[in-house]
Amino acid sequence: MNRKVIIGLLVLSFMFLAAVAESASFKHKYIMRGQILEVNGDTAYLCIGSADGAKVGQKLTVYRFVRTGSLGPHTSVRYNRQETGKVQITEIVDEHMANAKIISGEAREHDVVELK
């Protein structure tokens, strides 16, 4: 194979790998951050960790987005954010994940918590 072709393929491979790594960070920061991934009994597994400023002992409010209308030309708001409970972080798993105890109300998979 031509040396220039090999070098070009290597450069493209590195660019692709860098884009994939960056997209994972983007997904966590803007799409999944704060999402409850799993609930087992009174324990919730959160997509929020040390990189987000989470610390053991922090209490977080749980929110659920509830549909308020259908898509249409005159619909301005489609979802309302409703407070459903509170959790307290019991363990930082890593920079992106934590375990929390449900201390009041309800928390379900796909609900959201916020660090304030």
Quote the DSSP letter at residue 34.
T
What pLDDT was estimated at residue 25? Answer: 55
Q: Do 46 and 36 form a contact (C-beta atoms < 8 A)? A: yes
Q: 30-34, 51-55, 98-102 — which one is most confidently predicted on average? A: 98-102
For residue 49, what are the domain limits? 34-114
Helices (H), ranges, 1-116: 3-26
Residues 38 and 68 in one domain: yes
Nearest CA among 5, 109, 116, 2 for reference residue 59: 116
- Tens of pLDDT, residue by residue over 37-88, are 999 999 999 999 999 899 999 999 999 988 877 666 666 667 788 999 999 9
Residues 3 and 47 in one domain: no
Between CA 62 and CA 12 the distance in angstroms is 43
What pLDDT was estimated at residue 115? Answer: 73
Q: What CATH code is carried by the domain that includes residue 91?
A: 2.40.10.410
Residues 4 and 19 in one domain: yes
Residues 21 and 49 in one domain: no
Quote the DSSP letter at residue 50.
G
Residue 72 corresponds to which amino acid? G
Residues 6 and 38 in one domain: no
Residues 28 and 57 in one domain: no
Q: What is the pTM of this model?
A: 0.69
Strand locations in the chain, DSSP E?
Answer: 36-40, 43-46, 59-67, 79-92, 98-105, 112-114
Residues 50 and 107 in one domain: yes
Residues 3 and 42 in one domain: no
Q: Do 42 and 91 form a contact (C-beta atoms < 8 A)? A: no
Residues 3 and 43 in one domain: no
Residues 6 and 56 in one domain: no
